[in-house]
Amino acid sequence: MNIDEIQALKGIHPGIFLERELQKRKLAKGRFAISIGEYPQTLGAITKGKRAMNTPLALKIEHELGIEEGFFMILQTYFDIKQIKQKDSLKLHPDLKKFRKAIFWDTRFESIDWIKQKKAIITRVFERGNEQEKKEIIRFYGKQAVDEVLTGSPIN
């Protein structure tokens, strides 16, 4: 695998790649697991993304499939990084006490991803929010980001 191929796979669970690879090679998961001395349930949990890949198992799989050593652990590391970033982004939010929950009536207030949904949030607050809510959005995202969303173009 080269850097571009790993770039394309960044963030996916290594089990998803393994599942596709086994299907491509027409290998049954259970038989494959037994052939490398693993329990089929273990491999099944990994291919469903319910269990992390570990180094000894990754090495067995890579050896058996002729995949470059370390590939699955690189995927696992990038997957772990993505999970941590997603968890951390949920912690990044404005002062929630300054908002009326009614402004976000159609979603669970606690589950709003303030980073990914930035455009929708800014638009909604500036369409329906009061002055305190607008000020908090400007403080949290910054005036330039708010202006870019509201005008639809980057401010130079």
Question: Of the given ranges (54-58, 79-83, 120-124, 126-130), which has the lowest mean pLDDT?
Answer: 79-83
Report the distance separating Cα 22 and Cα 32, nearest Å.
8
Q: How many CA atoms lie within 13 A of 138 on its CB side?
A: 12
Report the distance separating Cα 94 and Cα 92, nearest Å.
7
What's the length of the chain? 156
Judged against a pLDDT cut of 60, whether residue 44 lies above it is answered with: yes
Report the distance separating Cα 122 and Cα 148, nearest Å.
10
Please give the structure tokens belonging to residue 104. Answer: 């976000």
Please give the structure tokens belonging to residue 2. Answer: 């080269």
pLDDT in tens, 67-82: 999 999 999 999 999 8
Judged against a pLDDT cut of 60, whether residue 156 lies above it is answered with: no
Q: Is 63 exposed, middle or buried (0-12, 13-18, 19+ CB in 10 A)?
A: exposed
pLDDT in tens, 4-22: 777 788 889 999 999 999 9
Nearest to 135 by CA among 123, 125, 127: 125
